């Protein structure tokens, strides 16, 4: 029942009540005037008492009738009052308040700890690369309507780096039903089997460096954390609902010309940090990288690998007392190992002499880098499918320049060489050496 209708039903009862009340008052006044017109010696007759008594009865009776009518109609047709409903706070809003009120510590939500970790290492890495190049990175901060944002640090046409990008992103979003089903294929315990959408959070750092000198290798790094919010507990306030989370990441080297000392140093640095957490990690994640960075249509790898892992959750560290903490510390160690793994290599190769033909070969190898990233890379694919994605930051990984040459004598796929084999061996020995490793990955440590 609407408020207007309720008022309509009550109005007649109120008018009746007012009429009785006026009649009672008139009766009392008339009797009082009649009594006051008599002589003082004659005492007034107390005849107002019956009228007052009747007036009180009338009040009670009318009140009962009105309340009864209202109760009956309210139960039969409840009032549809237009009361504004306040929206519940989003996970992004809760996290923003938390960051302002309390310092991030070991006891903070993993979301906020990962955000702090990647931003700290972004600053460290950018500073170190600026010292080598002599040119400053452009810092581009951005935000998302759905929550979160990121910082893209990019250097182009530098003194050492043709293009270098160190990006962090903090993303709050929503998974559609198809996306939920895709993730359930890798996570059997994934919540949301009976929901149409899920909120998610993702934080990560992604780095790609393309040096100008073809003797200096391209390097890539990525560490990330992902979690979803159970629909019964969207902001994880009670801690009662099951939560999905996992880590991913790794680092890999992509040279245009192979220097075995560089390959060994890079892989040894990775192995050292892996061994601090688990002696099997390097072997497992090195093999994973060799498979992941494969370009099937070329039958070769993008580079000489490194380590790669994804979807690491509680099942990935069954012996750990706190699997989430163990995997977080593993990612932190990986980030700490980056500068020691790459800086000695770039310092040694950045000023080496090279020929125009060697520069062309570098451009051909960068073409392979583009092919892998646009066709097979998970991060690129997920980023471009995310509503409100920041495309410029996602495609930061692509080189500034690249080259595709039809039926190249060495790099062509599925074609016969168009030059004499003896001449080919003499002029492309170093290029052939690299391709042998790319087609058959080696153990470097």
Q: Could you read off the pLDDT of 293-343 as tens digits, one per residue? A: 999 999 999 999 999 999 999 988 888 899 999 999 999 999 999 999 999
Answer yes or no: do 121 and 55 share one domain. Answer: no
What is the C-alpha separation between 305 and 252, in angstroms, rounded?
A: 5
pLDDT, mean of residues 209-222: 98
Residue whose C-alpha is closest to residue 399's, from 424, 430, 365, 376:
365
Q: Which of 25, 57, 76 is the last residue of a domain?
A: 76
In a domain, 14, yes or no: yes
Q: Is 210 a catalytic residue?
A: no
In a domain, 39, yes or no: yes
What is the C-alpha separation between 145 and 147, in angstroms, rounded?
A: 5
pLDDT bin (cut points 50, 70, 90) of residue 225 is very high
The CATH number linked to 118 is 3.40.1500.10
Answer yes or no: do 72 and 114 share one domain. Answer: no
What b-and-e string marks burial along 74-83, b requiring 16 or more CB atoms within 10 Å of the CB? Answer: eeeeeeeeee
pLDDT, mean of residues 206-228: 97
Answer yes or no: do 200 and 325 share one domain. Answer: yes
Answer yes or no: do 190 and 45 share one domain. Answer: no
Answer yes or no: do 245 and 337 share one domain. Answer: yes
Neighbours of 134 (CB within 10 A): 9
Please report the pLDDT score of residue 433 as a whole number: 95
Q: Exposed, middle or buried, 363 (CB in 10 Å: 0-12/13-18/19+)? A: middle
What is the C-alpha end-to-end distance of the chain, expressed in Å? 79
Better pLDDT: 34 or 438:
438
SS3 labels along the chain:
CCHHHHHHHHHHHHHHHHHHHHHHHHHHHHHHHHHHCCCCCCCCCCCHHHHHHHHHHHHHHHHHHHHHHHHHHHHHCCCCCCCCCCCCCCHHHHHHHHHHHCCCCCCCCHHHHHHHHHHHHHHHHHHHHHHHHCCCCEEEEEECCCCEEEEEEEEECCCCEEEEEEEEEEEEEEECHHHHHHHHCCCCCCCCCCCCCEEEEEEEEEEEEEECCCCCCEEEEEEEEEEEECCCCCCCCCCCCCCEEEEEEEEEEECCCCCHHHHHHHHHHHHHHHHCCCCCHHHHHHHHHHHHCEECCCCEECCCEEEEEEEECHHHCCCCCCHHHHHHHHHHHHHHHHHHHHHHHHHHHCCCCCCHHHHHHHHHHHHHHHHHHHHCCHHHHHHHHCCCCCHHHHHHHCCCCCCCCCCCCCCCCCCCCCCCHHHHHHHCHHHHHHHHHHHCCCCCC
pLDDT, mean of residues 376-405: 87
Name the least confident of 65-69, 226-230, 374-378: 65-69
- How many domains, in total, are found in the chain? 2
In a domain, 103, yes or no: no
pLDDT, mean of residues 89-117: 91
Answer yes or no: do 68 and 133 share one domain. Answer: no
**Segment of 79-83, 306-310, 404-408 carrying the highest mean pLDDT:** 306-310
pLDDT, mean of residues 75-91: 55
pTM comes to 0.76
Answer yes or no: do 33 and 165 share one domain. Answer: no
The catalytic residue among 121, 210, 220, 265 is 220
**Cβ 250 vs Cβ 285: under 8 Å:** yes
Better pLDDT: 186 or 298:
298
What is the C-alpha separation between 418 and 429, in angstroms, rounded?
A: 16
Please report the pLDDT score of residue 228 as a whole number: 85
Q: From residue 405, give the alpha-carbon distance in Å to each of 212, 361, 363.
A: 20, 10, 10
What is the C-alpha separation between 26 and 128, in angstroms, rounded?
A: 98
Answer yes or no: do 48 and 176 share one domain. Answer: no
R_g of the chain, CA atoms, integer Å: 38
Per-residue model confidence as pLDDT tens digits over 23-47: 444 444 444 334 444 444 445 555 5
In a domain, 444, yes or no: no
In a domain, 62, yes or no: yes
Strands 300-301 and 294-295, by their bridges, are antiparallel
Better pLDDT: 390 or 277:
277
What is the C-alpha separation between 302 and 226, in angstroms, rounded?
A: 26
> What is the span of the domain harbouring residue 10?
3-76
Answer yes or no: do 190 and 46 share one domain. Answer: no
In a domain, 99, yes or no: no
In a domain, 89, yes or no: no
In a domain, 147, yes or no: yes
Answer yes or no: do 333 and 244 share one domain. Answer: yes
Better pLDDT: 199 or 97:
97
**Cβ 58 vs Cβ 85: under 8 Å:** no
Statement: residue 22 has pLDDT above 80? no
Please report the pLDDT score of residue 74 as a whole number: 47
Residue 229 in tokens: 């919010």
Please report the pLDDT score of residue 14 as a whole number: 46
**Cβ 221 vs Cβ 165: under 8 Å:** no
pLDDT bin (cut points 50, 70, 90) of residue 268 is very high
**Cβ 96 vs Cβ 235: under 8 Å:** no
Answer yes or no: do 55 and 181 share one domain. Answer: no
Answer yes or no: do 272 and 350 share one domain. Answer: yes
Please report the pLDDT score of residue 388 as a whole number: 75
Please report the pLDDT score of residue 237 as a whole number: 44
Please report the pLDDT score of residue 420 as a whole number: 55
Per-residue model confidence as pLDDT tens digits over 257-267: 999 999 999 99
Per-residue model confidence as pLDDT tens digits over 128-148: 999 999 999 999 999 988 789
Statement: residue 384 has pLDDT above 80? yes
Please provide the average confidence, as pLDDT, over all residues in the chain. 81
């Amino acid at each position: 029942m609407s408020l207007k209708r309720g008022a309509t039903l009550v109005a007649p009862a109120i008018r009746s009540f007012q009429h009785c009340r006026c009649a009672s008052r008139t009766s009392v006044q008339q009797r009082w005037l009649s009594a006051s017109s008599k002589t003082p010696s004659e005492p007034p007759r107390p005849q107002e008492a019956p009228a007052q008594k009747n007036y009180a009865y009338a009040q009670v009776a009318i009140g009962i009738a009105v309340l009864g009518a209202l109760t009956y109609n309210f139960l039969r047709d409840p009032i549809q009052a237009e009361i504004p409903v306040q929206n519940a706070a989003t996970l992004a809003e809760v996290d923003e308040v938390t960051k302002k009120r309390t310092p991030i510590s070991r006891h903070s939500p993993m979301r906020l700890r990962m955000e702090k970790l990647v931003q700290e290492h972004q600053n460290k890495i950018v500073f170190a690369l600026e010292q080598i190049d002599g040119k400053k990175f452009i810092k581009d901060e951005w935000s998302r309507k759905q929550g979160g944002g990121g910082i893209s640090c990019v250097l182009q046409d530098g003194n050492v780096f043709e293009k270098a990008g160190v990006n962090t992103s903090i993303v709050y979003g929503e998974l559609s039903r198809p996306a939920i089903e895709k993730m359930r294929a890798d996570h059997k315990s994934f919540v949301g089997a009976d929901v149409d959408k899920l909120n998610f959070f993702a934080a990560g750092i992604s780095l790609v460096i393309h040096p100008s000198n073809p003797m200096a290798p391209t390097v890539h790094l990525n560490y990330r954390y992902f979690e979803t919010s159970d629909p019964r507990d969207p902001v994880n306030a009670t801690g009662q609902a099951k939560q999905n989370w996992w880590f991913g990441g790794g680092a890999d080297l992509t040279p245009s010309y192979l220097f075995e000392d560089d390959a060994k140093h890079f892989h040894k640095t990775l192995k050292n940090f892996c061994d601090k957490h688990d002696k099997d990690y390097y072997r497992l994640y090195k093999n994973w990288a060799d498979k992941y960075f494969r370009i099937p249509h070329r039958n070769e790898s993008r580079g000489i690998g490194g380590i790669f892992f994804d979807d690491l959750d509680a099942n990935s560290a069954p012996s750990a007392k706190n699997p989430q903490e163990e995997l977080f510390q593993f990612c932190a160690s990986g980030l700490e190992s980056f500068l020691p793994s790459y800086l000695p290599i770039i310092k040694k190769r950045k000023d080496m002499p090279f020929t125009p033909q060697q520069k062309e070969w570098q451009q051909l190898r960068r073409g392979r880098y583009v092919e892998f990233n646009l066709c097979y890379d998970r991060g690129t694919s997920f980023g471009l499918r995310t509503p409100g994605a920041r495309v410029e930051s996602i495609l930061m990984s692509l080189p500034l320049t690249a080259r595709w040459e039809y039926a190249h004598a060495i790099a062509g796929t599925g074609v016969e060489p168009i030059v004499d084999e003896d001449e080919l061996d003499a002029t492309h020995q170093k290029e052939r050496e690299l391709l042998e490793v790319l087609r058959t990955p080696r153990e470097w440590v």
